[in-house]
Amino acid sequence: MKKKVGAILVIAALLLSGICFFVISKSNKDIETSQTLVVVSPHPKEFMIPLIQEFESETGIRTTIISSGTSNAIESIENGEDVDALWGGSILSVGPYKDYFYPYVSLNRAIYKEKYKKVDDEFTCFSDVPSILIVNEDIIGDTIIEGYEDLLKPELKGEIAFADPAKSSSSFEHLVNMLYAMGDGNADDGWEYVGKLIDQLDGKLLTSSSEVYTGVANGKYKVGLTFEEAAVTMLKNDKHIRIVYMEEGVVTTPDGIYINKNTDKLTEAERFVDFMTSKNTQVYMASELGRRSVRKDVEPSSLVIADDEIHTISVKKDRVVNSKSLWTDRFSAMYGEKNHE
């Protein structure tokens, strides 16, 4: 009797849960299982969104963006995470990690400006990014800032936004830039200035490039060391900032688009590279987003001053690529020394 009741109970419970499960599973349906293209990028999101939107509507390839500093992005590729492409990060920063990437030569490269054509086969240049100083016009007051030397003014102590070159690609660009600019073409002579600058930071070293430009735009810092496009984006967002091209010299290094060697969506990733270097994209990027195009057939951006108005200096690319960890370590050591870490 008891057994019977128990059996009925068990059957009833099974039946009920079965119905519930059925209802729930019926309502749970997979709509699409197609995987998305995963792109990791240090670009500002305001910069990425319109480009990704257009890429998706043009190609129908779903894209997932992961915002990340360049070194973190490379780390995640190193760790075998599901990343298909790295979008951004200067070729100087990514250079040491050449082996992680798939050598793809886009058809668009034929129309590149000569200096970007010469870049290694592995890397596809995306845009040219000069390092600049970003200045908050509202709070800078009368202090005149025209170059690196001006950052050493006493009133700017603790007011300078700078990210750790070991973590931020744009900061590493600035480190290279100041070493060459302040060392008068000899990087080894620039470290004296770096030491002085570290003093001026007053113990404030940021961890990502976005903290630099948003920090200045939001008034947390008076001046920051960042890259041109970020400052343009801030300008477009009606932030009261000004772009200063260092009078001591500006290093412009192209950033690139890199396909993860282990991607399982190579075709999609190649289309991504082709789309980002296509004429329409580069035109839009230059005219609306303030980026300097790598293509011959794209007019210079009206949002930024022309290439020839900037005092550019060149660097020995191979040396920089080979010295990356050496220099970032040296910077960290100097910073640690001054801040008793």
Partner 1 sequence: MSKKTGSFQENIRGTFIKYSLVPVAVIVTVALFLFVFSWIVFMAHFNEQENQSIVSEITRTMNICNEMMSDVADSLVDNDFEVKDSEIFAVLYKRTADFGEMGNLIILSSDHKTLFSSKNSVPRFLTGRESYDWGIWHQIYKNKNSVNTILYNKNLYVTYGLYEGSNLKVAVVYAIPGEAITSNISAQARYVIITDENGWVYASNTKKLQNEYGKVEQIFTERSGYIRYDGNIYYANRNNTDKGLVVYTINDISRSVHLIYVLIAIIVVIFGAIALVTIRSTKVSSEKYTKDIRRIEDAFEEVQNGNLDAKLDINSSTEFTIIADDFNDMLQGLKDQIQQNKELAEHAAFSQVKQLESQFNPHFLFNTLDNIRFMAKIDAAAADKMIVSLSGLLRYSIREMREEVTVKEDLENLQYYLNILQIRFNKRFAYSIDVTEDIMEYLIPKLLIQPLLENAVKYGFNGQEKLSVNVRGYQMKENLIFVCEDDGAGIEEDMLREIQENLKKEDNATAHYGLYNIHRRIRLMYKGDYGLDISSKKNEGTVVRLTIPKH
At 146, phi and psi to the nearest 5?
A: -130, -10
Residue 317's contacts (CB-CB under 8 Å, 6 or more residues apart) are: 91, 92, 95
Length of the chain: 341
Q: Are 300 and 290 in contact (CB under 8 A)?
A: no
In the numeric block, which tokens belong to residue 164? 């750790």
State the nearest-atom distance from the C-beta of 12 to partner 1, in Å: 7
CA distance 270 to 108: 12
Which residue's CB is nearer to partner 1, number 299 or number 329? 299
State the nearest-atom distance from the C-beta of 150 to partner 1, in Å: 34
- Residues at the contact surface with partner 1, assessed by CB under 8 A: 1-2, 5, 9, 12-13, 16-17, 19-20, 23-25, 27-33, 36, 45, 48-50, 52-54, 56-58, 62, 64-65, 67, 279-281, 283-284, 287-288, 299
Which residue's CB is nearer to partner 1, number 28 or number 79? 28
Q: Hey, is 145 helix, strand or coil?
A: coil
Single out the residue of 157, 161, 171 nearest to residue 134, CA to CA: 161
State the nearest-atom distance from the C-beta of 103 to partner 1, in Å: 29
Which residue's CB is nearer to partner 1, number 56 or number 307? 56
State the nearest-atom distance from the C-beta of 96 to partner 1, in Å: 29
State the nearest-atom distance from the C-beta of 37 to partner 1, in Å: 12
Which residue's CB is nearer to partner 1, number 93 or number 281? 281
Half-sphere exposure of 82 (CA within 13 A, CB side): 9
Which residue's CB is nearer to partner 1, number 27 or number 79? 27
Q: Hey, is 200 helix, strand or coil?
A: helix
